[in-house]
């Protein structure tokens, strides 16, 4: 695999992901680069997908090629971000290699290499097979609606002072976010375009606030005024949050907290 682009193009995608996990799997294909990571408790999952053909056509990527149809690399995101921050806005060449040992023989462990004008950094790779993905049930009936990312982050931060969980409910164009503690309660109402996929039905799920806030922290670029995210909400199903920025699509999933009678 070989990629030539500005270091900050990669940094803008991977830096916020560290709120989910410090390790991620990069999947390189001829037409795309996908980054997948799951939090250690397997409650939340994050995925980014970058269309490399469009990125090359528009000039944000100068060169990109891989050997074969697919390459998977397990990467320490902390080490990757530190190197990218040092390189800054310079162009960087990223590739993987099996290094030559001091005795002249080839090593057995591959490394990720970043080469800029002022820095060459080798990072030992992790085993992607050890970073399993949780099985996500397929949504059969769910509401789809758009909300401001900045508004959601502000609401959730406020609710953390009341409870450790947040209930999200949709019914005929009205979205309710609520948190209830032992003595206090807060309810936020938002009004959106009606989602015909659920008709007049009500859908509701509850989610742990720590994982919600960490997930939306990974959506940092969308916190600017005007950025909206698409939410897919079902009854006691994982919440799906999606948005696009430039040539990259982002998807965040979080498992529900099931309420028992």
Which of these ranges, 2-6, 38-42, 167-171, has the smallest mean pLDDT? 38-42
- CB-facing half-sphere around the CA of 243: CA atoms within 13 A: 21
Q: What pLDDT score was predicted for residue 223?
A: 46
Reply yes or no on whether the pLDDT at 32 is more than 80: yes
The percentage of residues in the chain with a pLDDT greater than 70, rounded to a whole number, is 91
Compute CA distances 180 → 133, 144, 164, 187, whole Å.
Answer: 31, 25, 9, 9
Locate 140 and state its tokens.
């059969």
Quick one: 143-254 is in which CATH superfamily? DNA Polymerase III, subunit A, domain 2 (3.10.150.10)
Which pTM was predicted? 0.85
Task: Give mean pLDDT, residues 143-165.
Answer: 92
Q: Identify the burial level of 232 via C-beta atoms within 10 angstroms of its C-beta, where 0-12 means exposed, 13-18 middle and 19 or more buried.
A: buried
Contacts of 214 (CB under 8 A, 6+ apart): 19, 20, 39, 44
- With H, G, I as helix, E, B as strand and everything else as coil, classify residue 58: helix
Local confidence band at 225 (pLDDT 50, 70, 90 cut-offs): low
- With H, G, I as helix, E, B as strand and everything else as coil, classify residue 2: strand
CB of 5 closer than 8 Å to CB of 62:
yes
Q: Any idea which residue has 């080469």 for tokens? A: 115
Q: What is the mean pLDDT of the chain?
A: 88
Task: Give mean pLDDT, residues 134-143.
Answer: 70
Locate 237 and state its tokens.
């199903």
CB of 7 closer than 8 Å to CB of 88:
yes
Local confidence band at 222 (pLDDT 50, 70, 90 cut-offs): very low
Give the Cα separation of 193 and 46 in Å (integer): 26
Reply yes or no on whether the pLDDT at 134 is more than 70: no
Q: DSSP assignment, residue 215? A: H
Q: What pLDDT score was predicted for residue 140?
A: 67
Locate 177 and state its tokens.
């976010």
Query: E-strand spans in 39-142?
Result: 44-51, 61-65, 71-76, 91-97, 111-115, 120-124
54-82 pLDDT per residue, tens: 999 999 999 999 989 999 999 999 999 99
Domain extent listing, the chain = 2-130, 143-254
Task: Give mean pLDDT, residues 105-123.
Answer: 87
CATH class of 2-130: alpha beta
Give the Cα separation of 33 and 248 in Å (integer): 9
More reliable by pLDDT, 226 or 112: 112
């Amino acid at each position: 695999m070989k990629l030539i682009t500005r270091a900050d193009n990669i940094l803008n995608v991977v830096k916020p992901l560290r709120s989910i996990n410090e390790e991620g799997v990069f999947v390189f294909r001829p037409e795309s680069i996908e980054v997948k990571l799951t939090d250690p408790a397997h409650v939340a999952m994050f995925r980014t997908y970058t269309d490399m053909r469009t990125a090359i056509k528009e000039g944000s990527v100068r060169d990109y090629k891989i050997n074969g149809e697919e390459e998977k690399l397990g990467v320490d995101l902390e080490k990757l971000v530190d190197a990218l921050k040092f390189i800054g806005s310079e162009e960087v060449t990223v590739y993987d290699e099996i290094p030559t040992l001091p005795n002249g023989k080839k090593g057995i462990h591959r490394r990720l290499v970043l080469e800029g004008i002022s820095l060459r950094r080798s990072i030992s790779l992790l085993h992607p097979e050890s970073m399993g993905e949780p099985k996500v049930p397929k949504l059969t009936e769910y509401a789809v609606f758009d909300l401001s990312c900045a508004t959601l982050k502000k609401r959730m931060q406020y609710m953390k002072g009341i409870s450790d969980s947040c209930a999200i409910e949709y019914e005929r164009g009205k979205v309710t976010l609520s948190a209830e503690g032992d003595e206090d309660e807060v309810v936020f109402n938002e009004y959106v375009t009606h989602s015909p996929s659920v008709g007049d039905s009500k859908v509701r799920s509850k989610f742990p606030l720590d994982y919600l806030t960490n997930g939306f922290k990974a959506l940092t670029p969308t916190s600017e005024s005007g950025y909206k995210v698409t939410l897919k909400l079902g009854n006691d199903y994982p919440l799906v949050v999606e948005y696009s920025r430039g040539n990259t699509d982002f998807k965040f999933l979080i498992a529900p907290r099931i309420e028992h009678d």
